[in-house]
């Protein structure tokens, strides 16, 4: 039974059965490493031309040589005959030097620096413990125009998990942008109305990515008929009013909001656990799930710019020349897929999806 996707009002694009899109880019992706990388890379590369690759490996991708080596491992894992360009990022630590950031810019393959508040999410322990410690690094980013990619959640235990994004904006991000108004920022995987409003009212060089899970599901999805760990990610799914604000932002035609799946694979055992990992593995159905969300909003025709234009523009990249095609053809998202030596449960596993990518 498909109870996660509630019936929606009639669509303005009801007669569209084929959707041709500019080959999209995924501006927030976790590819992991080794056997895990080999298991998941094909799902992203089948659809996306390029991806901003998150650096939260263990140990983190914190230096330019590490980013170059990781890039090579990713390229080697891309299936034969597919072109996929990993856009690398550096993991910001208290020790990241301005020189490292300049070297990153000079490398030509690093496109951003990721700020994880220490302890905010998966493998973020080596992250920033206090913003004061990275002041010089942030000033360098602002000076050279390289984007700071932000996991926007405070880690303070006095803040409720559902309020951590809003508190981060108020306590850390707004003051930071006051101090460094030229800083280019992507507030990653926004989940709240507060974040949407903040990004909207900020200057043009402050943008946000939006995931498929935050467009399609509210926090109820984690508790339907029992505890559903495969709907648990960080920032955690929020209330319906926030989901609606995200959907409005995604389909609204503002170049400040673009596609970033945050596809974050964890093996089944790591998710179905007494202390399960955060992350939804959306890559196997990502573009299809976005199409479903945009259709629910009556705005399928806006998907192309959200998925294939605005992100590229923000990062100063040319738009991809090729296209992909989606057909209205219902299919079942697999219950489980191979992952290293085990299995993984994708986002919306076992659910019907009305769109299927058929060709590129």
Q: Which two tokens stand for residue 264?
A: 């974050």
Query: In this structure, are residues 262 and 234 in contact, taking their beta carbons and an 8 Å threshold?
Result: no
Minimum distance, C-beta of residue 182 to ligand NCD, in the bound complex (Å): 26
Sign of the CA dihedral with 42 first, then 47, 51, and 53 last: negative
Which residues are near ligand NCD by CB under 6 A? 30, 56, 121-122, 151, 233-234, 262, 264, 278-279
Spell out the SS3 assignment of 98-164. HHHHHHHHHHCCEEEEEECECCCCCCCCCCECCHHHHHHHHHHHHHHCCCEEECCCCCCCCCCHHHH
The minimum distance between CB 188 and ligand NCD, in angstroms, equals: 7
How many CB atoms lie under 10 A from the CB of residue 18? 11
Q: What is the C-alpha separation between 278 and 264, in angstroms, rounded?
A: 8
Shortest distance, position 278 Cβ to ligand NCD, whole Å: 3
User: Toward Zn ion, which CB reaches closer, 100 or 262?
Assistant: 262
β-strand pairing of 342-344 with 337-339:
antiparallel
Catalytic residues: 262
Q: How far is the CB of 167 from ligand NCD (least distance, A)?
A: 16
Distance CA 153, CA 117 (A): 7
Instruction: Report the partner that residue 233 touches, choosing among Zn ion, ligand NCD, none (CB closer than 5 to 8 A by kind).
Output: ligand NCD
Tell the smallest beta-carbon distance from residue 25 to ligand NCD (Å).
17
Q: Quick one: what does residue 242 bind among ligand NCD, Zn ion, none, with the CB cut-off 5 to 8 Å set by partner type?
A: none
Look at residue 234 and give the partner it binds from Zn ion, ligand NCD, none, a contact being a CB closer than 5 to 8 Å depending on partner kind. Answer: ligand NCD
Closest by CA position to 223, among listed 4, 8, 2: 4
Of 26, 153, 194, 262, which one interacts with Zn ion (CB under 5 A)? Answer: 262
Toward Zn ion, which CB reaches closer, 262 or 295? 262
Q: How far apart are CA 201 and CA 198, in angstroms?
A: 5
| H helix intervals, the chain | 34-45, 64-77, 98-107, 135-144, 164-168, 174-179, 193-201, 212-216, 240-251, 268-271, 286-296, 303-308, 310-314
Closer residue to Zn ion, CB minimum distance, 120 or 307: 120
Q: Which is nearer to ligand NCD, 71 or 151 (CB)?
A: 151
Q: Contacts with Zn ion: how many residues (CB under 5 A)? A: 1
Measured from the CB atom, is 315 or 355 closer to Zn ion? 315
The two structure tokens encoding residue 252: 């609204």
| Contact of residue 222 among ligand NCD, Zn ion, none (CB under 5-8 Å per partner type) | none
Nearer Cβ to ligand NCD (233/247)? 233
- By CB under 5 A, residue 305 contacts Zn ion: no
What is the SS3 string spanning 207-220? EEEECHHHHHCCHH
Assess contact for 94 and 129: CB atoms under 8 A.
yes
Contacting positions for Zn ion (CB under 5 A) = 262
């Amino acid at each position: 039974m498909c109870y996660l996707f509630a019936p929606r009002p009639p669509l303005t694009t009801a007669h569209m059965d084929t959707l041709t899109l500019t080959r999209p880019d995924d501006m927030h992706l976790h590819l992991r490493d080794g056997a895990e990388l080999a298991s998941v890379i094909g799902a992203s590369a089948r659809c996306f031309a390029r991806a901003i690759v998150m650096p939260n490996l263990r140990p983190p991708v914190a230096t330019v040589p590490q980013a170059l080596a990781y890039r090579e491992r990713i390229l080697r894992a891309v299936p034969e005959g597919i072109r996929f360009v990993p856009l690398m990022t550096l993991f910001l630590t208290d020790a990241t030097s301005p020189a490292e950031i300049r070297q990153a810019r000079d490398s030509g393959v690093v496109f951003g620096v990721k700020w994880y508040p220490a302890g905010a999410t998966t493998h973020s322990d080596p992250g920033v413990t206090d913003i004061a410690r990275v002041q010089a690094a942030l000033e360098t980013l602002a000076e050279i125009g390289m984007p700071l990619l932000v996991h926007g959640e405070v880690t303070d235990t006095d803040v409720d998990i559902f309020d951590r994004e809003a508190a981060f904006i108020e306590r850390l991000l707004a003051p930071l942008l006051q101090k460094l108004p030229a800083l280019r920022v992507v507030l990653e995987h926004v989940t709240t109305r507060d974040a949407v409003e903040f990004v909207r009212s900020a200057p043009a060089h402050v943008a946000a990515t939006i995931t498929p899970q935050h467009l399609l599901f509210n926090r109820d999805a984690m508790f339907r008929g029992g505890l559903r760990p495969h709907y648990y990610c960080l920032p955690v799914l929020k209330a319906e009013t926030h989901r609606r604000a995200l959907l409005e932002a995604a389909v609204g035609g503002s170049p400040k909001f673009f596609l970033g799946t945050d596809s974050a694979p964890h093996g089944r055992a790591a998710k179905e656990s007494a202390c399960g990992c955060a992350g939804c593995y959306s890559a196997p159905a990502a573009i299809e799930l976005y199409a479903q969300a945009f259709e629910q909003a009556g705005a399928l025709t806006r998907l192309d710019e959200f998925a294939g234009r605005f992100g590229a523009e923000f990062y100063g990249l040319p738009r991809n020349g090729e296209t992909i095609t989606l057909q209205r053809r219902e299919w079942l998202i697999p219950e489980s897929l191979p992952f290293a030596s085990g299995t993984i449960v994708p986002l919306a596993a076992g659910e019907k999806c009305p769109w299927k990518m058929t060709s590129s």
